[in-house]
Structure formats: C-alpha cells, structure tokens
Structure 1
Amino acid sequence: MRFSLSSSALSTRLQTLAKVINTKNSMPILECFVFDVSQGQLRITASDGENRMTSLVSLSECDSEGSFAISSHLILDAVKLLPEQPLAFDVNLDSYQVTVEYQNGQYQLVAQNAEEYPQVQPIEGDIHTLTIDASVLVSNLSRTLFATDNNEIRPVMNGVYFDLTPEHLAIVASDGHKLVRCRNYDIKSEVPASFILPKKPANLLKNGLDPNSGDVVIKFNSNAAELTFADGTLRCQLIEGTFPNYNAAIPSDNPNELLIDRKALMDSIRRVLPFASISSQLIRFKLSMGSLQLSAEDIDFATSAKETLVCEYNGQPLQIGFRGDYFCEVLSSLDSDDVKVMLGDPSRPGIVLPSVQDEHEDVLMLIMPLILNE
C-alpha cells in the first residue's frame, strides 16, 4: 500500500492526537497511532483506554486501502521538524515494514497489526443528542475549565457539566470556591438531559477543535459520549453521579454594582497580590462611590500594598475580601472590555459578568469571599 499527503497536515493532526495518549499505558499498543487508509482519506486514531479520538487527513494519492499501528513517539518526532512537503508512505501489510519518503531522505519503521488495537462498543441504551456549533463549544470550554475541581473526594466536580433543559443549554463548572455558568438560549430540548464531561476530553476539544469547523454532534448516554465534528470524532467515558444544584449557590440579589475596566482591575490585582499572605492570597476590596481600593498585607513578613482605581460604583460603602489568584482567573476567562461585579454583604459570593453579553448567551461567574480580619 502506498499513499502520500502533506507533511504539515500530518504533523498538525499528530500533535493534537498525541495529547490523548498517556505516558504509561495498560496495553503497549496504546502507545501507537492507528493509520487507516480508506476512500482517499487517512483516519488517524489515538486512545488511552477511556478516551478515543480520530482525525481525518486528505490524501493526495493512494493505491489501495488498509490499516496499521505505528509508534506515536517515533512518527511524531520524524515529521514535526520537516518543512511543508509531500510525504510518501510505502507500507507492506504482510511484514509491516514502513518506508516514509520525503524530499531529502527517507525513514524506515516497523508497524504493528491494527487489529490488536482495542475496539469500542457503540453507545446504546437511552441516547440523547445535542448539536452545538464548534465555536460555541470551544469558547464555553475555555471559559469553564479553569473552575473545575481536582478533588478526588468530589469526582462529579472534576469535569464540565452540560445541562440541557427546555429553556437553554447551561455549561457549568465549579470547585466550590468559584463557579462558571454559561447559558445558550439557542440550544434547548423538550426532554431534559445532562452529562459531566471529564477534564481531559474537554481540554482535547478546547485545544484541538477548529472553531470554524461547523456543527459538533454529541451523542451521549449515562456513561459515555461520542462527539462528531468536521474532521474527526472523540469518544470518551463520562463522570457518573449527580452534579450539585449550581443555581442554588448563585445569590438572587446582589444590589451593589461595580462597573470597571477588566484589564485594569486584573493588572491592579496582580500588582498587589505579591504582598498578600502566601497562604490566603487575600485581597481586600474597599468600595465607595466612584472608587475601588485594593490592598493586601502579609503580617508575617511586614509587607503590604495598596492601590486605588477609578470605577463606576453607586452602591453602599463596602469592604469585602477575595482570593486574588482566583479573581484573576475569573477575569482572564472573560473577553469583554468592562466587567460588572455584583456584590451583597461581605459574606455573600460576588458575581462577575461581562458588561455586554452576546446575543442569546448569558455568562455568569461567581467567586466566594474570604473572611476579613478587621
């Protein structure tokens, strides 16, 4: 079997798929990519046993069809430094000898039988289907992933929650200290359904899915999901369990509204933060009409910092504490020029919103306060 394709197209797909493969695998063949040539295309597959991702690459020519498994490290290292040029693969499907020819040389590799690669069972049972634009999926995963938990005691919070209702699709993440809820009113279902996407496949989609690739179709049941997009698929296990009632954690009335330049606030927090206690990372927000004062101190090292920003604030004079690094994460995940910060009393969570919401979307971020020692 002989086929040829673009070196840069192959390298790009391999670098994305390599993120699926674990450094240590239960089966040696999971350290390989599977190359499957069919109908003038090359389908490349990578798996870690729980997640399985495929990607399609167009071939400039091929003389037959077949499949083989090839070392991921070897082929990735072989092609990633090549400039854009045609690559020709010559594969003996009896001996699994592979020759890769390029402009100034060639590689000789030994492949394996692709039939030894573990197969996946089709998703069966009570199946739900969700269709979402790739750009919407990527942007919402980018907004939410930072808020997922890493605690094994609460596995349901270690992923991104998709909550499909008759009114909207909500994409949610929380670690108990911060929460992100992104609603899309264009996507809804008469039959409510939900699933929790683990962090690894969520990151694979965030970093590897082309936002301009059109619709992504998600088929899921209670324990697995299959996402189909323009140039490939992702099959993954889901986190089983019940996600907490996230809406109950969001205050219904935070009357004090702060409107401020997002980047100016983030830069100010970053300047003050090095002077905060290492353990608490506490930043004090002191609000009065038209003014926000940020301050931090570390009593153990006798260091402190204070900075005042001009803002729009017409609420009651208020002092409230937040963890500075968490607040910066919240601000970094937004892209609006200005943000609204809705505050209640010093013990109530703060709500951070973009000053202007995209049509048919509602993005909300919540951050828990820290106790202030007067």
Structure 2
Amino acid sequence: MKFTVSSSTLLSLLATTGKVISNKNTLPILDYFLLELKGSELKVTTSDLETTLMGSIAVENVESEGSIAAPAKLMLDSLKEFPELPLTIDVNDTNWEIRINWKSGSLSIPGASPVSYPAVPTLSAEKKELKFDPETLAGGINKTIFATADDELRPVMNGIYINLSENAATFVGTDAHKLVKYESEGACEAVSSFILPKKPAALLKAVLQKEEKPVETAFDSKNAVFRLSTHTLVCRLIEGNYPNYNAVIPANNPNKVLVDRIELLNGIRRVAVCSNPTTNLIRMDIGGNKIDLTAQDIDFSVSANETIACSYEGQPVTIGFKSTFLVEILSNIETPTVVIELADSTRAGVFKPVYDDKQPSSTLMLLMPMMINA
C-alpha cells in the first residue's frame, strides 16, 4: 500500500474520526485507525464497539492498494507537527511498518494487521430509512444534547429521544431536572422513534457543520446508520422506553415574563457567585415589571441581589431555580428576548425563545423549581 496525500487533509480526517477512540478500550486494536485504500480513495475507520465512524478522502499517486491498522496517538502526534505538504505513505504488508516520507525526511511507525479489527454492525431487514435535512438534525442535537443525563440507573435518559411523526421530527433531552423539546415541522418518511446516545450525537454535531446534502439515515431496533457526504456513522441505540415527557410540561401557565435574555443571564451569573455552593439556589421575585434576583450563603454570610426590568403579565410569583441550570438554558437560546411561563412556585418554569417572524421549528425548555427555605 503506497500513496501520496496532503498532510493537513489527512490530519483533519484522522482528528475527526479519532474522537470515537475511547481512553478505556477493552481491545488493544481499538486504539488504532483502520486505513483501507481502494482506487484513489482512502477510508479511515475508528470504533469503540458501540460507535463506529468512517471517513474518506481522495489520495494521489496510488502505487498499490491495501489495508493496515495504524496507532492513533502516534499518527496524530506525528501529523500535528507538519506544515501543509505532500506526504508519501508506504506500508510494508509483511512486517506492518508504516513509513511516512516527505521532501526533507521520513519517519517510521509500527502498524498492525487489520484482520482483528471489529466488523461494522449491519442493520436487520426490518430497518426503516429516511433522509434528514442536515440543519434539522444539527439543530435538534445542538438544542437538546446539553440537557441529557449521565445516569447509570436510567440509561434511556443518557441520550436524545428522536420521535418521527407524519408532520414533524421531535428531539427531546432531559435529566429529570431540565427538559428540552425541539420540534421541526415537515413530514418524515419513517414514522417511528429511537434514542440516540450522547457520544454519537456529539460526533454527528461535529461532522454536520459542513454538510449540505440530506443525511441518509437508517435504523432498526438496535443500531442506526447516518450517511453523510464524506463520513458514515454507525452506532448502537439505547434500548428502552423513553419517559412520557409531555406529561411534565405544564399546560396552563397564566404568568408570563418577557425579558432580555443577555441581561437576565449576566444578572444570574453575578448573583450566583454568592449562592450556596451545594444548592446553587437563586430566588426570583417576579412582579410589577421587574425580576428581583437574590442569592445567599448563610454559612459564609454572603449575599447578592439584582433587579432586572421585564414585561410581566400575571400575579406576583416567588420561585427558586438552580443557577447552573438557568445559565445552561439561557445560554442555549439564541434569541435576544426570552419568554418565561410560570404557574406557581412548585411547578416547572417553561422557557421559550421569542422570534420576530414565524419559524419552521419550535424550542421549549423546561426547568424544575427548587424549594426556597423561608
């Protein structure tokens, strides 16, 4: 196997696919890239047994085809030190030595036989297929991934729930304290649902940034495949029943706060410095077109308060929230103005972005309140 490739193109591909490689691999071969050369296309595969990411680039001056397992850390560390220049990679398929030659030098890296590299999972005959608009898929992942849990006891909450219906695709992430529901209008080719784990969702988020063509998606009860123009992601889905998220969204919220998102976010950050480090509780007294933010830590005799102007409809309300969750929610809304819908101090607050015009998608973020000690 011998070919010539641009150093930066190869590094970019290896850096992207290398994100799959886990620090705690059970098989030593999973610390390697699988490189396969067919014609003028170099395919790179990485896997952690749960998630597999494949990417490909075009190479030049192909003298011979072949495949090899190349050590990931050594390859990445070596390629990071090169400026943009052509590299000739020559693989000895007898002793699996990888020789990288360039204009003024060369280096040698020990590879391994590709035979023991795990095979990519295949889908069953009952698979469902559809095409995702890259913006819809990226939007759904971006909006919900921060709200997913890290809960070993409830694994279904460690991923993004994707529900496909006849008129919309719904993405949901929750950790039982906060919940995000992102809905994108448009008919889906497959009416079904699955739970996408956090790691492959984060990988998709990274590779979708430059994607323009529809993402070909197929899934069965255990695995899902996402085909992009230069990458293919195969991942094991989380099995189980997702909680009924609609049941926790309060239907009737008579109290509505319209407030500048950045002003509120910065106010919360300033006041939160004095909150109790265990609870991070911030008290919000809302009424008379203003929000009074208060935080205190009795143990250290520190407290802070700030008043923020808002437009308010409803009865005066006092409610407590965890400041770190408030910051997360407000940071993941992109509009300058946000509406907060409240019922009372014991029911969840609903946060929604305020747009000037009609949007093809809607975002709803929900945060459970905390008890305020009198």
State TM-score, norm by structure 2: 0.96
Offset of 1:220 from its aligned partner? 0.6
Q: What letter matches 1:249 in structure 2?
A: V
Offset of 1:197 from its aligned partner? 0.8
**Which residue matches 1:233?**
232
Map residues 22-171 of structure 1 onto 2, 5 A cutoff: 22-171=22-171
Moved more, 134-143 or 243-252: 134-143
2: distance between equivalents of 1:213 and 1:358? 23
Offset of 1:312 from its aligned partner? 1.3
**Which residue matches 2:252?**
253
Does the aligned pair in 2 maintain the 1:350–1:369 contact within 8 Å? yes
Does the aligned pair in 2 maintain the 1:213–1:229 contact within 8 Å? no
Q: What letter matches 1:246 in structure 2?
A: Y
2: distance between equivalents of 1:213 and 1:69? 31
- Residue 242 of structure 2 corresponds to residue 243 of structure 1: yes
Paired residue secondary structure (2:258): strand
Paired residue secondary structure (1:330): helix
Does the aligned pair in 2 maintain the 1:167–1:188 contact within 8 Å? yes
1: distance between equivalents of 2:61 and 2:340? 57
Map residues 194-273 of structure 1 onto 2, 5 A cutoff: 194-273=193-272
Does the aligned pair in 1 maintain the 2:39–2:62 contact within 8 Å? no
Does the aligned pair in 2 maintain the 1:289–1:315 contact within 8 Å? no
**Which residue matches 2:173?**
173
Pairwise CA RMSD of aligned residues?
A: 1.5
2: distance between equivalents of 1:86 and 1:54? 23
Large movers: runs of 4+ above 3 Å: none
**Which residue matches 1:372?**
372
Q: What letter matches 2:292 in structure 1?
A: Q
* Cα gap change, 1:209 to 1:307, in 2 (>3 Å): same
1: distance between equivalents of 2:293 and 2:104? 61
**Which residue matches 1:287?**
286
Aligned length: 373
2: distance between equivalents of 1:88 and 1:62? 10
Does the aligned pair in 2 maintain the 1:144–1:173 contact within 8 Å? yes
Moved more, 128-137 or 73-82: 128-137
Paired residue secondary structure (2:250): coil
Offset of 1:320 from its aligned partner? 0.9
Does the aligned pair in 2 maintain the 1:131–1:216 contact within 8 Å? yes
Structure 1 residues not aligned, in runs of 5+ = none
- Residues 223-266 of structure 1, C-alpha deviation per residue, up to 9 Å, x if partnerless? 11111111011111111000001111111111211111111111
2: distance between equivalents of 1:193 and 1:153? 25
Q: What letter matches 1:184 in structure 2?
A: S
Paired residue secondary structure (1:3): strand
State TM-score, norm by structure 1: 0.96
Identity of aligned residues (%): 38
**Which residue matches 1:340?**
339
